[in-house]
Structure 1
Amino acid sequence: MPDPAHWLAPARRRAALGAVLVWSPLALVCAALVFVLAGTWSTVAMLVVSALAVVWAARAAAARFDAQWLILRLNAREAALEDSAALVFGGQPLAGIEQLQARRIAARIAALDPAGLADDLAQRRIALAWMLAAAALAAIAVWYSQEPAVPPLSPADPATAPAAPGAPRLVGQRVRIIPPAYTRLPPRYSDSLDIRAPQGSRIEWTFAFDPEPAAAAVQLVGGQAIPLTRASEGWVGGVRLDIPSLYRLTAEGLGAQQPVHRLEPIADDPPQVRVIEPASGLATMRPGQSRWRVVFEASDDYAVAAGARAAITTAIGEGENVRFAERSITVTGTGDPRRRRFAINLPLGGFGLQPGSDLVVQLTVADTREGAPQVVRGPGVILRYPAPRLAEVAGLDLMAKQQMPAYFRSQRQVIIDTEALIRQRRSLSADEFLVRSDTIGVDQRLLRLRYGQFVGMEAEETPRPPLPVSDKEDGAPPEPDHYDGDGHDHGEAPENPTFGGLGNVLAEFGHTHDESEAATLLDPDTRALLKLALDAMWEAEVNLRTGKPEAALPFENTALDYIKRIQQATRIYLPRVGTQLPPVDMARRMTGKREGIVGRGAVLEPFAIADAVPATAWRALAAAGAIDLAGLDQWLRVNSARLRDPLSVLAAVDGLRSAPSSKAAREKLRAQLWSVLTRPPATVRRRPDGGDMGRRYAGGLR
């Protein structure tokens, strides 16, 4: 019987070759990309990994060809085999007649060529793979050629060279800054050793010395030392830029007084969200509207994540029977990654909106910062389903008017509405002008009643009987009578009054307009101003209700002026509570013992500063004593976010540490700490000098 492996070998070799020809271009592209981004050693590692992957793909392609495939291929291509190839390659025991047929079929199979059973190479697939790989390699080559070439080492500052002859001195320097990948910023080179780069960047130094030292390092002030290794161009080393720091270059034999340099990270700002559509934050649902389109725009200094979450909240119902429901959907942004737009089309039929309900949409976006993206929730947009207009009814105000909510009504708005009505007088009919003037008068009345509550004004909703004619000689109006149902709380009369008992006289014969537990007390000046404002509001209301807005406008402005003065006045809010005295100790009463009842004199407590470390150091710098620089350095690192320029303060601390007896270093650090000190809670105001006349008078006295 023929060997199946002999007949499968050509097909397996051709399948493996096809897999190698298809996947090899991808391996070359990956290696070229790694070479551009990471260098030679990473490229070698990538080539090894890619080769192993291609070998695995070739073995997987060859493993698909087995005995079952061979049987099917022979039966399909050779009709002379009479669909009996399974008798030869099936591997099962055969009966007598089956053995005879198997020998006949084996003789016919032996006359065939095994290479003819293999499939041809997928030339189109191979050609497409190599064409795409060639295009990718060309793009990588163009990109690599456009990258700035590695600049030569720039000369070092001559002032840093040591005075000792034969000692190592710095002759060249270069800094490479590799921003984080999420910033999409290209690497760059800098000649200056003062570095300012995005937070999370990789900082790589290259230094050249003459003569070469035995060892070199970058020493972070107050922190770790970063060792430098010898390379072809010089000594190289790197660090990740996360926190602001100061550093200096150190080497064996190098001068000890090397200058310090800055490592300043640029923090990633959170994204900003604004509403593009609709133009207003409050939109009104139109009759027949079935969809609502909302467009947000999110911007970031580097990039905004493509996906965002939109929180949709519905408030259905009125008064206390409001039902809230919240759902969220995923929205995909479009446009520039630094400024993406998120469009949301909401089908309104699925939210069950009713008249008087609201639909609120808020967008939550994030940036692409590595590790912990910054998440920001933008402003909300409201779609309001307007409530139906009230039907006209007869009553005190002739008709029920659609009024704005109370929190939108103010004296300034009344003035604005009055001025607008005066300008539109010529374009309105007499009846429409009177109706609009009366509407503004109703707003003025409601505002007057709201302010009047602070001086005990009644709600004026319950009709009262006419006042009796005064029988006083001066004609002053008498006090109004009080009766049941007048809208006031008269209290309950005592059940069993007794002669001579005081009881609740106020509850029996009078009433109060303030709550007894927590009454609002205004000082007399403020109360007088409020009464003047209410009088002006009353005059304005009378003129508005009678269709004379021009006459009402001066009173409206007068009321607004009084309200402004009231807002700046001193207000006193006192609860009416009784005096709470300590209980009397009956055991000590009438004994004459005074132990424990005589209070001590007032003792001045020392003023404690929350952050006493910089204040203590600032006072110590004025003297010649020692200073806790370690504690100050630790405080500065913990509170660096509160400082405007923490690196300048750290540099001053390092300067004093290097020269403890230097008066200039102490003064420099003291000046830096002045901006860090906590401001006192109160300041003493300088007395005015009386102007030019006062200064001349004081000069004459001298």
Structure 2
Amino acid sequence: APAYTGLPPRSASALEAAAAEGSVLRWRIHFEPDPGQAKLVFLDGREVALIRGKDGWQAEITLSQSSLYRIVVGAASTLAEDRQYRLDAIIDQIPEIKVIAPEKTLTQLDAGQRQWSLDFEVADDYGVADAQLAITLAQGSGEQVTVSEHSKRLRAEAGDDPRHRRYRHHLDLAASGFAEGDDLIVRLLVSDNRQPQANQARSASYILRWPADPGSDDAGIDGIVQKVLPAYFRSQRQIIIDTEALIVERPRLDDERFLARSDTIGVDQKILRLRYGQFLGEEFESGGQRTHAPDEDHGDAPTQQDALSGDHDHETVEQPAAGFGKEADILAEFGHTHDHAEAATLLDPETRKILKAALAEMWQAELHLRQGEPGKALPYENRALDLIKQVQQSTRIYLARVGLELPPVDESRRLSGERSGLRDRRGVLADSVVDRKIISNVYQQLADGNSSDLDALAAWLRAPSTTLPDTLGVLGAVDELQRRPDCGECRRRLLDQLWSLLPVPAAAARSRIAPDASGRRYLELLQQEAVP
């Protein structure tokens, strides 16, 4: 086997073998009687001469791909058994990466956190050679985002098996230049010891986010960071401002006026809570009645709650009777058109959890505001605002920048009308079913007992683009039938091989099978019974 695999030499008494790709295979064969010459003939056309030595006939090749071969002795004759032998090349697999920590692809920075702990496990069939941590720091916001990248070589833990290594690393956040509002993205890049070119694997990107100041203005970056929630949901800050102002003005207000102002802010908090509830699939509450007394600020005009409920006042709005069988009328009577499934599935589970916590804080804030206790409601309002900011921050994702590389333009052919060498782009991609049409044709010809183009099938099977579960098995069956066209057993074996490779036909309605004599008689009797 290749030196990088670390596998010891081995020998076997069979003429078939499975070995690592790039292994050196040596034959030592004895013949009775001793022929004048011998060689190995491969199915792809290669021939390797067997050299007579002191210890039998010998040959040597490097196994670069799986193949079939037979032994030919004398001038043109083969061995009496005339069989094929199989050589399977075992491909070196790409390393497998398992991320133990962090557990999520997006992690929020904890208060007082100074390091980011990373833990990876890597497995490879022959051994891991190198592991590097690609670190990307995204700083700024809007159109002023700057990205810096660097890598760090990791060392595996002592005593690990080269085929199973574990890498632990603690990333110093201060040394990385990590600051408020930044994203720190890491990926693990692993290479095995394959020669001459190593296999490489990379993990997914893992992000550590330092949330920006909740008071920072996000205006002007709608084209850069897409918000899951609309901009008018940021009015939670206005509710806090109104509550703080009411607490300051409390000594100058009488009890009735104070309770009305507090109840008004509670209504605003309810409206905001209901709007957020839409994103969790919750139903609106009816708003047919006003819950606070009018004052000089509101007068007799409709409140925000009345405007919000609008046509959703399911208790008071009279609906016309639904027409029988009309889908729209049935939906209007028994359903709610604002209940869209997209609202319940718009957010990921982690964001939904944060939003539910924000709704719980809003419930408590509304409770105390309705009871005329704005001082007790203020802590709940502030916690709700912090949770809302976390939801807004969770909509930002990192995408690696990929440069656009266009082929060079041949200026000498410009405006010349010369079209030689140009390809039709519509024919670049080929349907997989069309690619396997040759299998269908050969199978149909063999099943009908006709002659088939086995040479074309063999050429298609040898093409590098052909990927089948057992290409060598099909090639062997094709070669066997080519050498023995009158062999019925050989034809059956090839049909069995091709059966599993036939393309699955598209689903379509089938015509009804014409009835036989008994079926026609049965239908005639049914018709006679139906005639009055």
TM class by shorter chain equals: 0.5 to 0.7
Contact 1:273 1:379 in 2 (8 A): no
Matching residue's letter, 1:264: D
Structure 1, residues 44-99: CA drift from partner, whole Å, max 9, x if none? xxxxxxxxxxxxxxxxxxxxxxxxxxxxxxxxxxxxxxxxxxxxxxxxxxxxxxxx
Q: How does 1:448-463 map to 2 (within 5 A)?
A: 448=278
In structure 2, relative to structure 1, the CA distance for the partners of 1:280 and 1:657 (3 Å cut) is: same
Deviation, structure 1 residue 208 = 0.6
* Residue in 1 that maps onto 2:425: none
* Residue in 2 that maps onto 1:371: 196
Contact 1:246 1:261 in 2 (8 A): yes
Q: Which entry has the higher C-alpha Rg, 1 or 2?
A: 1
In structure 2, relative to structure 1, the CA distance for the partners of 1:341 and 1:523 (3 Å cut) is: farther
- For the pair 1:445 / 2:252, whether they are aligned, the reply is no
RMSD of aligned Cα (Å)? 4.6
Contact 2:460 2:466 in 1 (8 A): no
Deviation, structure 1 residue 210 = 1.5
* Residue in 2 that maps onto 1:326: 149
- For the pair 1:360 / 2:185, whether they are aligned, the reply is yes
Contact 2:182 2:209 in 1 (8 A): yes
* Residue in 2 that maps onto 1:285: 109
Matching residue's letter, 2:278: R
Deviation, structure 1 residue 344 = 3.3
Residue from 459, 468, 474 that aligns with 1:649: 474
Residue from 230, 234, 240 that aligns with 2:52: 230
Residue from 329, 337, 342 that aligns with 1:531: 337
Instruction: Compute the TM-score of the two structures, normalised by the length of structure 2.
Output: 0.57
Deviation, structure 1 residue 353 = 2.4
In structure 2, relative to structure 1, the CA distance for the partners of 1:339 and 1:440 (3 Å cut) is: farther
* Residue in 2 that maps onto 1:382: 207
Matching residue's letter, 2:438: V
Residue ranges of structure 2 left out of the alignment (5+ in a row): 217-235, 245-267, 283-297, 320-326, 345-355, 368-431, 513-521, 527-532
Matching residue's letter, 1:654: D
Deviation, structure 1 residue 444 = 6.0
Contact 1:205 1:237 in 2 (8 A): yes
In structure 2, relative to structure 1, the CA distance for the partners of 1:337 and 1:686 (3 Å cut) is: farther
Deviation, structure 1 residue 187 = 0.9
**SS, match of residue 492 in structure 2:** helix
State how many pairs are aligned.
Answer: 359
In structure 2, relative to structure 1, the CA distance for the partners of 1:525 and 1:244 (3 Å cut) is: farther
Deviation, structure 1 residue 640 = 7.3
**SS, match of residue 189 in structure 1:** coil
- Distance in 2 separating the partners of 1:356 and 1:531: 39
* Residue in 1 that maps onto 2:264: none
* Residue in 1 that maps onto 2:32: 210
**SS, match of residue 230 in structure 1:** strand
Q: How does 1:16-31 map to 2 (within 5 A)?
A: none
- Distance in 2 separating the partners of 1:205 and 1:660: 31
Deviation, structure 1 residue 366 = 1.0
Q: How does 1:467-546 map to 2 (within 5 A)?
A: 531=337, 533=339, 545=363
Structure 1, residues 363-387: CA drift from partner, whole Å, max 9, x if none? 1111111122111111223222244
**SS, match of residue 341 in structure 1:** strand
Contact 1:441 1:545 in 2 (8 A): no
- For the pair 1:301 / 2:125, whether they are aligned, the reply is yes
- Distance in 1 separating the partners of 2:102 and 2:68: 50
- Distance in 1 separating the partners of 2:152 and 2:331: 53
- Distance in 2 separating the partners of 1:262 and 1:611: 24
Instruction: Compute the TM-score of the two structures, normalised by the length of structure 1.
Output: 0.44
Matching residue's letter, 2:96: Q
- For the pair 1:395 / 2:271, whether they are aligned, the reply is no
* Residue in 2 that maps onto 1:672: 497
Q: How does 1:41-56 map to 2 (within 5 A)?
A: none
In structure 2, relative to structure 1, the CA distance for the partners of 1:608 and 1:636 (3 Å cut) is: closer
In structure 2, relative to structure 1, the CA distance for the partners of 1:534 and 1:280 (3 Å cut) is: closer
In structure 2, relative to structure 1, the CA distance for the partners of 1:320 and 1:369 (3 Å cut) is: same
Contact 2:156 2:167 in 1 (8 A): yes
Structure 1, residues 212-239: CA drift from partner, whole Å, max 9, x if none? 1101111112421111111222111122
**SS, match of residue 329 in structure 1:** strand
- When structure 1 is superposed on structure 2, of 634-643 and 652-661 the one drifting more is 634-643
In structure 2, relative to structure 1, the CA distance for the partners of 1:548 and 1:678 (3 Å cut) is: farther
- Distance in 1 separating the partners of 2:490 and 2:45: 21
- Distance in 2 separating the partners of 1:656 and 1:271: 41
In structure 2, relative to structure 1, the CA distance for the partners of 1:477 and 1:289 (3 Å cut) is: closer
- Distance in 1 separating the partners of 2:197 and 2:440: 36
Contact 1:357 1:385 in 2 (8 A): yes
Structure 1, residues 157-202: CA drift from partner, whole Å, max 9, x if none? xxxxxxxxxxxxxxxxxxxxxx111111111111222211111111
- Distance in 2 separating the partners of 1:684 and 1:226: 55
Contact 1:250 1:256 in 2 (8 A): no
- Distance in 2 separating the partners of 1:529 and 1:685: 40
Deviation, structure 1 residue 389 = 5.8
In structure 2, relative to structure 1, the CA distance for the partners of 1:631 and 1:257 (3 Å cut) is: farther
Matching residue's letter, 1:377: R
- Distance in 2 separating the partners of 1:532 and 1:286: 38
Matching residue's letter, 1:533: D
* Residue in 1 that maps onto 2:100: 276
In structure 2, relative to structure 1, the CA distance for the partners of 1:345 and 1:448 (3 Å cut) is: closer
- Distance in 1 separating the partners of 2:439 and 2:155: 50
Matching residue's letter, 1:361: V
- Distance in 1 separating the partners of 2:435 and 2:491: 24
In structure 2, relative to structure 1, the CA distance for the partners of 1:383 and 1:244 (3 Å cut) is: same
Residue from 247, 252, 258 that aligns with 2:69: 247
Contact 2:187 2:202 in 1 (8 A): yes
Deviation, structure 1 residue 293 = 3.4
- Distance in 2 separating the partners of 1:208 and 1:381: 61
Residue from 49, 63, 83 that aligns with 1:259: 83
- Distance in 2 separating the partners of 1:243 and 1:440: 70
Matching residue's letter, 2:239: G
- When structure 1 is superposed on structure 2, of 384-393 and 657-666 the one drifting more is 384-393
**SS, match of residue 652 in structure 1:** helix
Deviation, structure 1 residue 330 = 2.8
Q: How does 1:590-669 map to 2 (within 5 A)?
A: 609-638=434-463, 642-669=467-494
Q: Which has the higher helix share?
A: 1
- Distance in 1 separating the partners of 2:438 and 2:498: 10
* Residue in 1 that maps onto 2:13: 191
* Residue in 2 that maps onto 1:312: 135
Residue ranges of structure 1 left out of the alignment (5+ in a row): 1-178, 401-437, 453-462, 480-521, 550-606, 688-696
* Residue in 2 that maps onto 1:201: 23
Matching residue's letter, 2:139: I
Structure 1, residues 286-308: CA drift from partner, whole Å, max 9, x if none? 44444333232221011111x33
In structure 2, relative to structure 1, the CA distance for the partners of 1:397 and 1:643 (3 Å cut) is: farther
In structure 2, relative to structure 1, the CA distance for the partners of 1:662 and 1:478 (3 Å cut) is: closer
- Distance in 2 separating the partners of 1:255 and 1:345: 66
Deviation, structure 1 residue 524 = 8.7
Matching residue's letter, 2:500: S
- Distance in 2 separating the partners of 1:327 and 1:439: 47
In structure 2, relative to structure 1, the CA distance for the partners of 1:393 and 1:652 (3 Å cut) is: closer
- Distance in 2 separating the partners of 1:240 and 1:529: 72
In structure 2, relative to structure 1, the CA distance for the partners of 1:338 and 1:525 (3 Å cut) is: farther
